[in-house]
């Protein structure tokens, strides 16, 4: 029996093409990690490697959850659209087809591991920001916000829309959902095999955005955000906002307040394992914008839905006191620029075995 081009590609992965596809991505992360270790040596601040802890969380909690969601999705699609005569056999066949695909499994696992390594060094850079650059930009960003919004602080303009306990709980729920959605999309893209250029555009844009925005710009324009404005001695400009959120919390939960307290306590203790504080630019908005751009690359409806999600994140970032509005605007602009740069860098991505198999049938 002769194998099809697709089956041959599945059993004999193109290792040379694999290295070409992931070389720049892995190289950027390697440089970033080396920079973090060099910085740690220069500052005399220990590089607290949390790689094993992150891997344990990823493989012990997040990946099983993602796989469960994808299995349920597959079963629902089969039940509604395909309706096979032997559903269990059809489902097992689909799962087996994914697991025995070396292009998908090796490439996905490698990309996911690289991202864990990247977040390890990213977190180090974020936590040492106060040691390198004190929070000096809050007053300037707060004033810029006011000037940009016709003499009002943006949270004041949002009161008619979000100024109730129920709406605050809703927007906080959306804001917290960001973490799950971001990791879920990263997981899907890492294991995608249908379009290597689109896949690598997203992965490169993600690393560039977080490294440039979350580390370099965050350090250059070090700021803590409205929630910590009074605590840092900058005045009582945002006391009405925080008082409002605390009142709402007595009626309907505002989970952000607990997280904000934990971060502040960690900052006061100089506990770098607490996560670190950084406001400019907003990485919530930057990464949400990347999700929307990725969505448009797949389907218009996905892009529109994720754009709505990005808009809600923008509202939440201001209403919950995490960010000045300009933090969000900067994050959106940065993500678009990094996406364009990543698209150029991934323009000559080699096709994988599956894409080549499709080309041979056309």
Averaged pLDDT in 10-residue chunks for the chain of 362 residues? 46 64 90 93 79 66 81 81 78 75 83 90 89 93 96 96 96 95 91 86 96 95 96 96 97 96 88 76 97 94 96 97 97 97 84 44 29
Does 177 map to a domain?
A: yes
pLDDT of residue 330: 98
Does 215 map to a domain?
A: yes
pLDDT of residue 359: 33
Phi and psi, residue 134, nearest 5°: -60, 165
Does 62 map to a domain?
A: yes
Residues 193, 107 contacting (CB under 8 angstroms): yes
Does 362 map to a domain?
A: no
DSSP string over 20-81: HHHHHHHHHHHHHHHHHHHHHHHHT------HHHHHHHIIIIIHHHHHHHHHHHHHHHIIII
Residues 174, 259 contacting (CB under 8 angstroms): no
Does 338 map to a domain?
A: yes
pLDDT of residue 238: 97
pLDDT of residue 136: 92
Angle of the 63-77 helix axis to the 165-190 helix axis, nearest 10 = 90
pLDDT of residue 54: 66
Does 260 map to a domain?
A: yes
Domain span holding position 49: 15-349
Does 355 map to a domain?
A: no
Does 286 map to a domain?
A: yes
pLDDT of residue 6: 46
Domains: count for the chain: 1
């Amino acid at each position: 029996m002769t194998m099809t081009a697709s089956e041959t590609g599945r059993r004999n992965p193109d290792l040379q093409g694999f290295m070409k596809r992931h070389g720049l991505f892995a190289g950027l992360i390697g440089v970033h990690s080396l920079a973090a270790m060099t910085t740690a040596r220069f500052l005399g601040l220990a590089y607290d490697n949390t790689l094993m802890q992150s891997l344990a969380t990823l493989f012990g909690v997040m990946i099983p959850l993602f796989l469960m969601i994808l299995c349920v999705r597959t079963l629902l699609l089969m039940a509604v659209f395909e309706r096979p005569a032997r559903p269990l056999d059809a489902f097992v066949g689909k799962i087996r087809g994914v697991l025995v695909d070396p292009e998908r499994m090796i490439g996905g696992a490698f990309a996911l591991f690289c991202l864990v390594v990247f977040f390890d060094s990213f977190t180090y850079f974020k936590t040492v920001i106060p040691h390198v650059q004190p929070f000096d930009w809050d007053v300037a960003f707060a004033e810029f916000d006011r000037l940009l919004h016709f003499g009002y602080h943006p949270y004041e303009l949002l009161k008619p829309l979000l100024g109730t306990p129920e709406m605050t709980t809703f927007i906080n729920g959306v804001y917290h959902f960001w973490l799950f959605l971001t990791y879920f999309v990263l997981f899907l893209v890492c294991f995608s095999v249908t379009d290597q250029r689109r896949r690598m555009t997203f992965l490169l844009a993600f690393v560039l955005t977080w490294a440039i925005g979350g580390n370099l710009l965050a350090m250059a324009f070090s700021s803590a955000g409205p929630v910590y404005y009074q605590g840092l001695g900058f005045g009582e400009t945002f006391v009405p906002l925080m008082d409002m959120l605390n009142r709402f919390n007595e009626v309907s939960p505002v989970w952000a307040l607990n997280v904000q307290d934990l971060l502040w306590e960690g900052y006061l203790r100089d506990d770098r394992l607490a996560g670190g504080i950084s406001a400019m630019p907003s990485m919530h908005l930057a990464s949400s914008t990347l999700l929307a751009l990725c969505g448009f690359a797949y389907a218009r409806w996905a892009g529109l839905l994720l754009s709505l999600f990005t808009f809600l994140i923008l509202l939440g970032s201001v209403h919950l006191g995490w960010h000045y509005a300009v933090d969000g605007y900067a994050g959106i602009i940065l993500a678009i620029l990094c996406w364009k740069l990543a698209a150029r860098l991934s323009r000559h991505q080699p096709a994988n075995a599956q894409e080549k198999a499709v080309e041979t049938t056309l």
